A and B are shown apart, each in its own frame.
Chain A
Amino acid sequence: MSALPGRTLSRPTTSQPPSGPRTAGPPAAWSPTTWSPRTRRRLAADAALLVVAAAFVLPLAWLLLASLDGEATLRVSVPGSPTLDNFQSVWTDEITFTPMLNSLLLCGGATVLTVACAALAAYPLSRFRSRLVRPYLMTILFSTCLPITAIMVPVYGLFVQVDLVDTMYGTALFLAASQLPFAVWLMKNFMDGVPVILEEAAWTDGASWPQTLTRVILPLMGPGMTVVMIYSFIMMWGNFFVPFMLLLSPDQLPASVTIFTFFGNYGQVAYGQLAAFSILYSTPVILLYVLIARRMGGGFALGGAVKG
């Protein structure tokens, strides 16, 4: 991406209309044409962004076009006669509904568990003072970073030993645990943002801590909870390795794993159907992401939250 010279960088204010006495443009271009180099730089930035966007959009374009193409190949091409045949042929119990339902049960169950545990754990971590809080949080933060992929082989071994392998609830429990450290961390930070004064008022009125938590704090951190919930769900929905390792029987597999059957069982790979199924499988998480991006104001908030 050498198309972005350093020169186009580091002027955070250009995109806004010029206002007041702010200096504009480098000293060399001082005189009357003040906004002209600025425009030039904006055009350069626009062009660079468009180049990157074009490169990024090609694989996505293939997905959309191939799904509408009766004779899709691996190459991006506009279908001669757009058709919904691909969607029609994957729109069956066996190919779409069962795997999607499995995904929903697996990820939905695990998300509920994660959010419930995280909300409970965040309360004492956020509200009570103890020497152990900091080490606990440090351990949590440490485990958010551990590569979960690396422990999947021992998890498989352990699950075989305790007979949890090939069970939905076992897999859901593991998914919940793998997402929990980050959920606790986020939830604790969101809870810190809720003023203690409101809680004290509830206490003076004689509320117990469960009441305070459910009636005062959680409603106040609704947006934060939604973010934690949706983020966990998105991560689990897209997770391929965990169900791939821990679930064996075909009727229990979630969509992230059954997608491979387009290569295995049906002989000739039907790329159009693969694309159609991929779209069906991706749609829920894209919609959910749009939902939290809107809710958190512009989509950049999650990046800010993730950054710690």
Chain B
Amino acid sequence: MATATKVAAAPAAPARPGRRRPLRWLPLAPATALLLLFLGGPIGYCVYIAFTDMQLTGAATTNFVGLDNFRRAFADDDFRNAVVLTLVFTFLSSLIGQNTLGLALATAMRRASKPIRTLTGSIVIAAWVVPEIVAGFLLYAFFRREGTLNAVLDWLHLPSQNWLYTLPILAVSFANVWRGTAFSMLVYSAALSEIPKEINEAAEVDGASGPRRFWHVTLPMIRRSIGTNLMLNTLQTLSVFGLIWAMTRGGPGNRSQTLPVFMYDQAFNKSLIGYGTAVALLLLLVGAVFSVVYLRLMREEL
């Protein structure tokens, strides 16, 4: 929050005579050019191809087809399947998993003893720092029929499962929780450490029990961090590709095929660049909506 408030209070440029030249904005040029060419360009191009029937082979036959790609998407069972799976994946792993577990870890850490706090923190952060594709392989090994999870379940005398076959979407959701919880934990640790001690103590003197204090004091005080964290988690989860690709490649069948995987599959395995891009545009629009909400939240803070 400290960094955000500085935007509003950005140091005023000292009124130096002769500094009113437009040239002083020149340092902005390289970054702006790079952004326009490599982010703005593709986004514009994305909007264009989404309305064509471009295919990977034979670029000469690209025609403008209007809204056909979108009509086709909404009538496509595979697309609807991907939307549902994306919602399930986002809900389970981002909203429920990363966010709740991150908050729980951050609060528990504030009262745990130091060695255990450090140990847990390091392990959770290590899972976050490991590159995405390595995380994918680790969790592939973990969830496989002959993998570690079933070994643990056998040891506990619980029924084992072929997780990647029976419940692939649950497996990749857990994988995303494993990988992404550290971020929430760090955000919430920072937020909780900014709550003045006196407030909790005052509530305690007034006789509020632990859960009540948590619900009525702590949560309202970190609500902005909660909003920010939820937005960022959701945006990050929406674009997860490598993790799912390494674990299941969207399979078996299409039972873990979220939108990014579906988009890739249509564009490259089925050579339908136009259709794949239309799906990409929808994903981009959802992302843009979340970004705008996020900006709203930030603006309140500014």
Contact = CB atoms under 8 A, between A and B. Distances in A.
Contact of B239 (A137, A147, A238): A147
A161 to B, nearest CB: 8
Interface stretch (A20-28, A84-92, A94-102): A20-28
Contacts of A307: 1, 3, 187, 190-191, 225, 228-229
Interface string B91-107: 00000000011001101
B74 interface: no
A15 B117 contact: yes
Interface residues of B, number: 131
B169 interface: no
A259 B133 contact: yes
B238 A41 contact: no
Top 8 nearest A-B pairs by Cβ distance? A303-B186, A177-B38, A147-B239, A238-B131, A149-B239, A145-B291, A121-B31, A240-B242
A163 to B, nearest CB: 13
B12 A278 contact: no
B213 A10 contact: yes
Among B109, B112, B151, B301, max chain A CB count under 10 A is at: B112
Interface in A250-304: 256, 259-260, 271, 274, 278, 281-282, 285-286, 289, 293, 299-300, 302-304
A292 B116 CA distance: 22
B178 interface: yes
B207 to A, nearest CB: 6
Interface of A: 1, 4, 6-15, 22-23, 26-27, 41-42, 45-46, 48-50, 52-53, 56-60, 62-63, 66, 73-76, 113, 116-118, 120-121, 123-130, 133, 136-138, 141-143, 145-158, 173-174, 176-178, 180-181, 184, 189, 192-193, 195-196, 200, 203, 209, 213, 234, 237-241, 244, 256, 259-260, 271, 274, 278, 281-282, 285-286, 289, 293, 299-300, 302-308
Contacts, number: 371
Given A49-B108, A125-B28, A158-B41, A189 B7 contact: yes
B109 A177 contact: no
B241 interface: yes
Interface stretch (B65-73, B76-84, B138-146): B138-146
Contacts of B214: 6, 9-10
A63 B129 CA distance: 14
A274 B288 CA distance: 38
Contact of A193 (B4, B6, B43, B284): B6
Contact of B209 (A26, A145, A154): A26
Contacts of B242: 240-241, 244, 256
